[in-house]
Every structure is written in C-alpha cells, then in structure tokens.
Amino acid sequence: MFDNMKMLGAMAGLMKNKDKLREAGVRVRTKMENTRVTGEAGGGAARAVVSGTMQVLEVQLSPSLVMGMAGDAKTHELASGLIAQAVNAALREAQLKMKAAIDEESKALGLDGVIPEIGNLLGQ
C-alpha cells in the first residue's frame, strides 16, 4: 500500500513538471539513436550491427560463410541460422542499453525504485 502511495506521489510530482519528463525522454531517445551494438554468431562468421532504437543497420558475413552459402541447402540453412543468431544477440544488447538509459533517467528524476522494473516492459 505504501509503495503504491509512493509511486502515485512521484507520478503526481512528474505531472507537475512535464518539461523534465519530456527532456528525459528526448535524452533517452537521442542516446539510443546514437548507440550502436554488435552481435555475432559462429565465432564471428556472422555479425549484426543494431542501433539503440532496435534498427538493424548492417549485417556482415565472413567470406568463408558467403562461399559456403553457395553450396548445399544444409550449409545455406546454417548460414541463415547464424545471421538470425547475430541479429538477435545485437537486439538483446540494444535492449539492455535502452534499459540502462531509462534507469539512469528514472534515477535522475527521483523515480529510482518507484516505477516497476522497466525490464518487464522490454520482455526481459
């Protein structure tokens, strides 16, 4: 009960100062737009670069992986799986960066421990 009251009080305080909340949102968005993370699979045979806004920016494949893709269907399937793993690894890392940025701003706004774990919103 007291936690709910604490959260309501913090939210009421934020509503009085919407500008601080808006500025925090802009800072998080800007930070995430400038964030780049890399995920890899197959010992670096497949790499993916993702922005903090969860956009896949680049996929890099090692020459040996590309040459192997021209082979049989099984090799092609393996390569496709490695690409998916690399993209997923990069997306997980980008989500962690987003969580850290939001947690940092929440703490600066005095909401540390007041709002339920933001990771739940990201499905972590």
Most confident of 18-32, 35-49, 66-80: 35-49
Domain range enclosing 15: 2-120
**Widest CA span of the chain, in angstroms?**
64
Q: Rounded distance, CA 44 to CA 59, Å?
A: 11
Q: What is the rounded average pLDDT of the residues 2-31?
A: 75
Q: For the chain, how many structural domains are there in total?
A: 1
CA separation for the pair 103, 36 (Å, rounded): 19
Band (pLDDT 50/70/90 cuts) for residue 120 is low
CATH of the domain at 18: 3.30.1310.10
Return the closest-CA partner of residue 57 out of 73, 33, 78, 41. Answer: 33
**What pLDDT is recorded for position 124?**
47
The string of pLDDT tens digits covering residues 50-108 is: 999 999 999 999 998 888 777 778 888 888 999 999 999 999 999 999 989 988 888 88
Measured CA distances, 14 to 4, 25, 27 (Å): 15, 13, 16
